[in-house]
Amino acid sequence: MSETQGSTESRHDGFYEIRMKGHLDARWAYWFEGMSLTRARDGTTVLYGPVTDQAALHGMLRKIRDLGLPLVSVIQKKKGTNP
């Protein structure tokens, strides 16, 4: 791989917007540490925030699967660009 351990990059892989069909109750927010949870008017729930690495992203996607909510989209965002 081309990455080095002493990289000066930030400690996370990027910011992600993860949209799922259905409204996720606010009590589930703790399950997605560091992510904001927004229930959109279109009937979707949007998780937004920093993701440490690909393993953490896949862990979040497993949690969404376990909740039974269909995944609509996963978009990597530039830091600071809110959904």
Whether residue 3 is contained in a domain is answered as no
What is the pTM assigned to this prediction? 0.77
Report the pLDDT value the prediction gives residue 81, as an integer from 0 to 100: 58
Q: In percent, how much of the chain has pLDDT > 90?
A: 58
With CA atoms as reference, report the closest residue to 32 among 52, 5, 60: 60
What are the tokens at 82?
Answer: 């809110």
Pair 32, 68: CB distance under 8 Å: no
Report the pLDDT value the prediction gives residue 80, as an integer from 0 to 100: 56
Whether residue 6 is contained in a domain is answered as no
* Residue span of the structural domain in which 72 resides: 14-77
How many structural domains compose the chain?
A: 1
The chain-wide mean pLDDT, for the chain, equals 83
Whether residue 8 is contained in a domain is answered as no
Of the pLDDT bands very low, low, confident and very high (cuts 50, 70, 90), residue 28 is confident
Q: Domain holding 38: CATH number?
A: 3.30.70
Give tens-digit pLDDT for 40-67.
999 999 999 999 999 999 999 999 999 9
Whether residue 5 is contained in a domain is answered as no
Whether residue 69 is contained in a domain is answered as yes
Whether residue 64 is contained in a domain is answered as yes
